[in-house]
Structure 1
Amino acid sequence: MKRAITFALLGSCGFAVPALAQQSDATDGLGSVSSENSYGRDRNIGVLERRRPDYTPEPIQLGVLELMPRMAIGAGYDDNLYAQENDRIGDAYLRLRPRVSLVRPSPTLKLSLDGELDLLRYADRASENATQYSVNAGALYTISKSDTLNLTLRNGRYSQERVSPDSPTQASRPVRFTLSGGTATYTHVFNRLRVRGVVDVENRNYSDSVTPLGDPIDQDFRDHTTYTGTAVGEYALSPSIALFVAGSLNKRDYRERIGPVPARDSKGFELAGGASFELGRKARGALRLGYFQQDYRPVEFEDVSGLLVRGELAYFLTPLVTITGTVDRGIKETGVNGATGYLATNMTLRADYELLRNLIISAGGELEKRDFNNIDRRDDRWTWRGSASYLVSKRLALRLDVQRRTQSSWGATAGREFTDNRVSVGLTFSGL
């Protein structure tokens, strides 16, 4: 059985674990515009990263350990559960997300362990119910003032959403998959120079689904393991700007497969350069430009290459309003039959407004453009979100979330076109 190797290119600030795209929901966290690894560029603080001691949950002290329990409870309604253009079916749902985090703080060796259970239950469509979980462990070892080693392990079970381009339209239930892996990050800082190396391993295993008549829908061709290795060098010209270069090689091996469609093995590379910067007290961000290329082993699969673009800019309009924009262009794997992957271009814009010290209102939009490789298909998906988070106390927070998604598709093998609206409310209990 073969394993897959992928070397993903780091951004100017660090390694990002592959995201699991999900619908927005009132049980989600607030998120943040992080100033981590910004060479002390903290003259201004984003709305979502601002410290609020009066509303920050306090952990339970267990000797040298800190225990942080959390329970998020939400209810909502989805008006197009199966992401169909016609014959839309809606349903109400209840969501429970208990989470426990355990941390052993230490200036030299910080240890952490957290687990979350995500129970999603629909009122009428039991086939869409999902039981998801994730378990994560980490160790941050401060070797010296200049050297740190960060180790993380992760394991989880997830349910793929109907709005995903990889979700089979004829499936009677969502596709389930497991994800496990680990990451090791070594960072060395010497005066103005920072060098970082990352090694990552990730395994994905997809379960088959079935049609309404009970016929199996094969998903084994998507199973693969990914190994990632990346190097980044960043040099601070001044406290306000740092230049960086990053490079990676990759090899993706899917498991051996018997059938008409061969495994989508490939090799490739990414090279990029850019800068992270702070523009006075008004903006903080990072931008990198480069080139990527992915060569597929089976001769019937087309190779792909192009311009790599990734960046983020946080603009502090006022101390109470933060506007954040991102752009990301690169290759993503897919479960669509016949396609080896797709070139994805994501652009987002979000505004966060601290109406009151304990009331945060957010609104934003996202455009994701997909150009599938090896088949004639192009997708455009717009996502609009609005939310309000009210921090009642250190233990209790309330949230309202509204989301609208639309998708258009073109080509000889065009995908689904749909509009989906979701509204939800939730509350979260945290800490003591």
Structure 2
Amino acid sequence: MARVAMLGLGFSLAPQPSLAQLAIQPLQDSVVLPDYDRGRNVGVAETPQPDYDPLGISAGDFRVFPSLTATTQVNSNVFFNDFDKHADIAELIQPSVFATSDWSNALVQVYATDQIRRDARYAVLDRNTWATYVSGRLDMTDALTVTTLVQAGRFTENPYASVVDGVFAVLSQYDQVTASVKGAWTGGHLRVTAQYEHAVQAYAPLRAAAAGTIDQAYRDNRNDRELVQAEYALSPGLAVYSQVSLDAVKYRYTGAMGLSDRNSTGAAVVGGVSLDWSGVARGALGIGYSRRDYTSGAFPDPGGLSVQARIEVFPSAMTTVTGSAYRLLRDANSGASVAYYDSHVECDVDHALRRNVIVSARLYYGNQAFVEDPRRRTFYQASLVGKVKFDRRFNADINLGYGKSTTNGSLAGAPFGQFVGSVALQVGI
């Protein structure tokens, strides 16, 4: 199945993503790049494979693709803490179903997945995460398209991205509901996009063996974001764009843990270029300024440089090299801080040894710099993944990786390093 670009939110979905991608993640990302794909290039992971892609089940105007994935994972440091390392083996079972319509001027897609995890030694790591979404696209006219998305799920925080210590992030779960609507109008060389997104997060109590149960309700929040973007094509393969976005974060409890009102508003202005050159590269680069203003005068109102970039290079039909980077000013959503600069650099290489065998390598660097104190956290990751499609029904992934985090003091959390390996098998229809 080809990946489906969704609503310009800076993410992509696949009915059959990499099986080694164990975490179920929400469909929300503050990195919003223009839709730079003009159909001039096809990445290795997107290449159609008629002999290996599932046929699905016909259900009226829909095609339905059910699947079941079983994964065994070995982790050398399951609590993300070098001061108290523990290794463990986990088993994960994940049923999924994806359905897509087959209409000429509209598209409806439905996805649902549930992942059950059980660890051999530490029951505190056992969890159930799930996600479901419904998306739709309607071509109102030749020039105007409207797309919508509604998603709900229970997710686990990512220790390589969370603002809380890794030992707490790996135990922390939250429910999130997201709804968005986007309209895109195209006329001549000009494309104008307007988007509204609403998300609500509710954090579950954290089951930490050493500290008992920790109430995280003070982190519950809602986020509303509006975005307007204009693109002007200089040529069939090159365009310039400008983007203005506004957002508001409101917490359910604003005075918890002795903190002042943490509600805030944000604004960002970004300008840049997007390109899609046949057989060479495609991507987008934007540079601008972002700022956050807090209701309480107890916190600073930071502002600074914003960067968002993604480039895909095609040295051959069998290899795709992807680089991405961003620097964003984010609301911290934690009791220790209100805002931080989040920086990210990543390089991915996908190479097809055969049509049905893809090897992928990934290098990742991340940095969190908090604005009201000197705390710093740095993350590193490297992984190698082998993906095999045996036939239309059976797929397998093998994933080997190493991750590391360093901090500049105990207030920023514990450092950690870990080796992770997993084998995933999937059967689909």
Aligned residue number for residue 218 of structure 1: 215
- Give, in whole Å, the separation in 1 of the partners of 2:172 and 2:86: 19
Aligned residue number for residue 62 of structure 1: 59
TM-score by length of 2: 0.89
Is 1:133 aligned with 2:127? no
TM-fit CA distance, 1:105: 2.0
Greater mean deviation of Cα atoms: 407-416 or 96-105? 407-416
CA contact (8 A) 2:37 2:276 kept: no
TM-score by length of 1: 0.89
Give the percent of matched residue pairs that are identical in Structure 1 and Structure 2: 22
Aligned residue number for residue 328 of structure 2: 330
Query: Structure 1 counterpart of 2:46, which letter?
Result: E
Residues 105/279 of structure 1: CA separation in 2 closer, same or farther (3 Å cut)? closer
Aligned residue number for residue 152 of structure 1: 149
Question: Paired residue for 1:104, among 97, 101, 104?
Answer: 101
5 Å-filtered alignment, 1:119-198, equals 119-161=116-158, 165-167=162-164, 174-198=171-195
5 Å-filtered alignment, 1:249-288, equals 249-259=246-256, 260-279=258-277, 281-288=279-286
Residues 392/116 of structure 1: CA separation in 2 closer, same or farther (3 Å cut)? same
- Give, in whole Å, the separation in 2 of the partners of 1:368 and 1:256: 30
- Give, in whole Å, the separation in 2 of the partners of 1:170 and 1:279: 44
TM-fit CA distance, 1:245: 0.6
Greater mean deviation of Cα atoms: 179-188 or 413-422? 413-422
Aligned residue number for residue 26 of structure 2: none
CA contact (8 A) 1:391 1:398 kept: yes
Aligned residue number for residue 428 of structure 1: 426
TM-fit CA distance, 1:160: 2.5
- Give, in whole Å, the separation in 2 of the partners of 1:278 and 1:344: 28
Aligned residue number for residue 305 of structure 2: 307
Residues 199/108 of structure 1: CA separation in 2 closer, same or farther (3 Å cut)? same
Cα RMSD (Å): 2.4
1:308-337 deviation per Cα after TM superposition (whole angstroms, max 9, x unaligned): 101111111222111110001102333443
Q: What SS is found at the alignment partner of 2:412? A: coil
- Give, in whole Å, the separation in 1 of the partners of 2:172 and 2:251: 18
Question: Paired residue for 1:384, among 382, 385, 393?
Answer: 382
Q: What SS is found at the alignment partner of 1:394? A: coil
TM-fit CA distance, 1:61: 0.4
Aligned residue number for residue 347 of structure 2: 349
Aligned residue number for residue 292 of structure 2: 294
1:189-246 deviation per Cα after TM superposition (whole angstroms, max 9, x unaligned): 1112111111111000012224436644231121111111100111111111011110
Residues 424/305 of structure 1: CA separation in 2 closer, same or farther (3 Å cut)? same
- Give, in whole Å, the separation in 1 of the partners of 2:170 and 2:320: 40
TM-fit CA distance, 1:77: 0.4
Is 1:16 aligned with 2:15? no
Residues 216/335 of structure 1: CA separation in 2 closer, same or farther (3 Å cut)? farther
Aligned residue number for residue 371 of structure 1: 369
Aligned residue number for residue 317 of structure 1: 315
Q: What SS is found at the alignment partner of 2:108? A: strand
5 Å-filtered alignment, 1:412-423, equals 413-423=411-421
Is 1:203 aligned with 2:200? yes
Query: Structure 1 counterpart of 2:428, which letter?
Result: S
- Give, in whole Å, the separation in 1 of the partners of 2:75 and 2:166: 17
Query: Structure 2 counterpart of 1:190, which letter?
Result: G
CA contact (8 A) 2:37 2:283 kept: no
For structure 2, the 5+ residue unaligned runs are 1-6, 24-32
Aligned residue number for residue 32 of structure 1: none
Query: Structure 2 counterpart of 1:99, which letter?
Result: S
Aligned residue number for residue 26 of structure 1: 20
1:350-382 deviation per Cα after TM superposition (whole angstroms, max 9, x unaligned): 111111111100111000011012222011110
- Give, in whole Å, the separation in 2 of the partners of 1:76 and 1:169: 18
Residues 279/161 of structure 1: CA separation in 2 closer, same or farther (3 Å cut)? closer
1:120-179 deviation per Cα after TM superposition (whole angstroms, max 9, x unaligned): 111111110110111101221111111111111000012235555444577698122100
CA contact (8 A) 1:101 1:115 kept: yes
CA contact (8 A) 1:41 1:239 kept: no
CA contact (8 A) 2:79 2:167 kept: no
Greater mean deviation of Cα atoms: 411-420 or 240-249? 411-420
Aligned residue number for residue 76 of structure 2: 79
- Give, in whole Å, the separation in 2 of the partners of 1:18 and 1:281: 22
Query: Structure 2 counterpart of 1:296, which letter?
Result: Y
Aligned residue number for residue 30 of structure 2: none
Q: What SS is found at the alignment partner of 1:56? A: coil
5 Å-filtered alignment, 1:223-242, equals 223-242=220-239
* Count of matched residue pairs: 409
Q: Give the structure, 1 or 2, with the largest relative contact order (CA under 8 Å, sep 6 or more).
A: 1
Q: What SS is found at the alignment partner of 2:124? A: helix
Residues 173/102 of structure 1: CA separation in 2 closer, same or farther (3 Å cut)? closer
Query: Structure 2 counterpart of 1:239, which letter?
Result: P
Query: Structure 2 counterpart of 1:62, which letter?
Result: A
CA contact (8 A) 1:177 1:206 kept: yes
